[in-house]
Amino acid sequence: MLWVGNLPTQRVENSTYKLLVISEITNASEILECLQGNQPEIVVSALTDLNESIKFLLEFSHKSPSSIRFLKVSLLTESILKTGLNQAQVMAVFDEKDSSERYFRLFKKAIAENSFLQTKRKLLVESKRQLREFESLNQSLKSIVEERTQHIENSRAEEDEKLNKSRNFVRFIKEMSMTLSFEEYLLVLRKELRKFQGIGEPYLIYRLSDRRVFVLHVQYGQSLESLLVESFNFSSENREFNQLGFFGLEKILANHFGRPFMRTLTIPLEIQMTQSLQGSSALAILGIEVSTTEKKALPFLDFISERAQILNICADRLLLENEYFRSSYRWEKTFDGLRDPIAIVDVDYHVLRANKKFFQISGQKKCFETFAGKTEPCFGCPLQNKSSEKGLEQGTINIGTKVFKVNSYPISIDRIATEMKATNFVNQYVDITQSRELYLRMLQSEKIGALGLLAGNIAHELNNPLTGLRSLTQVLIQEVSQNSSLQKSSLVSDLIEIEKATERSQKIIYNLLEFSTEESTERKKISLDEIVQRTLPLLKTSLHNHRYVLDLQTASNLVSVEPQMIQQVVFNLINNACQAMNNKGSLFISTCLSVQSKLEVQLIIQDSGSGIPIEIQDRIFEPFFTTKKEGVGTGLGLSFAKKVVEKYGGSICFESSAKEGTRFIVSFPVVEKNE
């Protein structure tokens, strides 16, 4: 404790504190110097001059702010108190009146407060220090965090970039794989190339199986393909153009396009699949103009190398697809252009594929529905022989008036249960209607020929005795008629009858010979009447059981036909009529001029049979259509009749009902009238 000035009369010393008294020195700094810098807890200024006291205290407060200040005056007034408090920030002001207790009390308080202040100050310092420490720690943590964050950001940016690159790459792959043509291929590539400065358009140079080399590029949204005129050396002995690099491709392109080209990068395309298909002469390269320096072009080169494999694969694929489409197109055209209908059918008759000729009705229907218009498999279809053999199956089917030979080739064999069964077949439908007809007709005519030969032989054999018979009878007739004794008897007339009988026999044989001769004859002018009459004798057996009525009225109206042929027709018709009737049927055979036109003659053959059933009426003129058992009827009679009749400008039709039987009407144009 420092007391500056005169001590008061009261006792101010105490054992609790050390009292230092300075009576005259008022210089705070000096005092402090003396105190060796130790700031007293308390300082009392008891100088006689109040202003000086205040001044001193002020000064002291600056130098030793932690000391508690007191002012002692002789007489305390309110203004002195105010001054002391305000100007010097004293704790209290003493005057003479104050007792020692007050001094002690206040000093004690001051000391306490001082120590309190000291503690506070210490704490403050400590806090400040701690705060500084925290702050620096904080700062270092912050910087660490920042660093880390930065690091993470950097990595993220890197990752993003990598991701972007990958995305781009994937997108490139996707776009490339979806290209359907080289134009698209180049467009996609171009898009990528645009990202680089100084990189030009891509040019595709390729060769397939022949010697021609093509250049393809895209300009203004259109693709332009041109033939490289000068011979282009892809070859690998000459190391050009089979490596990635700059090999002077620009010269060739410049020659071709007639404009200067910058340094052009050659990118060879490995088109293995195409090569294995087309031969090793199939080659392709890409050319890309590069106008920057080689150093600047490095990232671009990297870019291209990365994508080299995609470019290869896609080019290969496109070339193959092209070739595939071309062959496929050729194959389809061939398939469609085939003369015969061809279809690929499975075991259940589903039509899987067929050529143009096959389809009359489109739609996913079964073979017999589409092709034959039936509701169940055709009779004779080779598919019905569901055999497990791998060979060709054949069958013959009838559709309408046509006959088809079906060749069925199994094309895929599956294991079903333990057998190897064919599940898909290629069916070839060969229209053999004509050839079949021709064949059968030939057979028929051969048969007839053979028969004819036989008949011919028999006829000749018969002719001999008949000649003798007739001649001898003629002689006998003469002899007997010259013999008067025999004249009256019936001998002559009997002999005459015998002679007539032999004549008839000869006629029959003659007709038979003529009917079955296979020599083709010329058309003759002849009347239908005559034809009918020539034919009737041959039908004696068939007509035997029935009654028949003849009404022939066109003897003088001639038609121009081959008599044999029409004889056969008449024979067939009458035969059919007889077969249609049970015993004792009636047959009506007549010829007349047609009612509608006097220029036509009609032959009408009417039977009293049970008629032709309505359901088959449409089909009776079909070749090979017969209701008789196999081997009995050929089904050719009526179809032959129709053909023959129509050949001579005639027509054939019929009316039929169960009640009235059947009536066939054959008409021919009249060519001559004999008066």
Min separation Cβ 507 and another protein, Å: 10
User: Residue 458, by phi and psi: left (phi above 0), alpha (psi -120 to 50) or beta?
Assistant: alpha
- On whether the CB atoms of residues 182 and 318 are closer than 8 A, the answer is yes
Which tokens is 66 given?
Answer: 């932690």
Q: Return the range that interacts with another protein (CB under 8 A); candidates 351-359, 370-378, 476-484, 539-547.
A: 476-484
Q: Does 455 bind another protein (CB under 8 A)?
A: no
Q: Does 231 bind another protein (CB under 8 A)?
A: no
Which tokens is 359 given?
Answer: 């389809």
Identify each DSSP E strand in 330-373 by its residue range: 342-346, 351-354
Q: Which of 473/576 has CB closer to another protein?
A: 473
Q: Return the range that interacts with another protein (CB under 8 A); candidates 74-82, 336-344, 432-440, 475-483.
A: 475-483
Q: Does 515 bind another protein (CB under 8 A)?
A: no
Q: Which of 394, 474, 542, 575 binds another protein (CB under 8 A)?
A: 474
Q: Which of 463/560 has CB closer to another protein?
A: 463
Q: Which of 95/514 has CB closer to another protein?
A: 514
Q: Does 467 bind another protein (CB under 8 A)?
A: yes
Q: Which of 198/468 has CB closer to another protein?
A: 468
In single-letter form, the type of residue at position 405 comes to K
Nearest one of 443, 369, 384, 414 to 624, comparing CA atoms: 443
Nearest one of 541, 528, 540 to 605, comparing CA atoms: 528
10 Å CB burial of residue 277 (0-12, 13-18, 19+) is middle
Angstrom distance (rounded) from CA 650 to CA 648: 6
Q: Which of 464/520 has CB closer to another protein?
A: 464
Q: Which of 198, 279, 400, 465 binds another protein (CB under 8 A)?
A: 465
Angstrom distance (rounded) from CA 189 to CA 206: 16
Site of tokens 């508690």? 68
Q: Does 77 bind another protein (CB under 8 A)?
A: no
Q: Does 500 bind another protein (CB under 8 A)?
A: no
Min separation Cβ 562 and another protein, Å: 19
Kindly determine how many residues on this chain lie close enough to bind another protein according to the rule CB under 8 A. Answer: 18
Q: Does 403 bind another protein (CB under 8 A)?
A: no
Q: Return the range that interacts with another protein (CB under 8 A); candidates 106-114, 235-243, 374-382, 466-474.
A: 466-474
Q: Does 337 bind another protein (CB under 8 A)?
A: no
Q: Return the range that interacts with another protein (CB under 8 A); candidates 76-84, 242-250, 383-391, 468-476.
A: 468-476
- On whether the CB atoms of residues 39 and 67 are closer than 8 A, the answer is yes
Q: Return the range that interacts with another protein (CB under 8 A); candidates 31-39, 307-315, 467-475, 656-664.
A: 467-475
Q: Does 471 bind another protein (CB under 8 A)?
A: yes
| C-alpha radius of gyration, the chain, whole number | 68
Q: Return the range that interacts with another protein (CB under 8 A); candidates 353-361, 459-467, 579-587, 628-636.
A: 459-467
**Site for another protein, residues 237 to 266, rule: CB under 8 A:** none
Q: Does 468 bind another protein (CB under 8 A)?
A: yes
Q: Does 195 bind another protein (CB under 8 A)?
A: no
DSSP, res 17: B
Q: Does 19 bind another protein (CB under 8 A)?
A: no
Nearest one of 235, 233, 237 to 251, comparing CA atoms: 233
The SS3 of residue 411 is strand
Q: Does 470 bind another protein (CB under 8 A)?
A: yes
Q: Does 475 bind another protein (CB under 8 A)?
A: yes
Neighbour count for residue 96 (Cβ, 10 Å): 12
Q: Which of 228/472 has CB closer to another protein?
A: 472
Angstrom distance (rounded) from CA 177 to CA 310: 8
| 434 to 311, 337, 619: CA distances (angstroms) | 58, 21, 17
Angstrom distance (rounded) from CA 619 to CA 612: 10
Binding site for another protein (CB under 8 A): 459-460, 463-472, 474-476, 478-479, 506
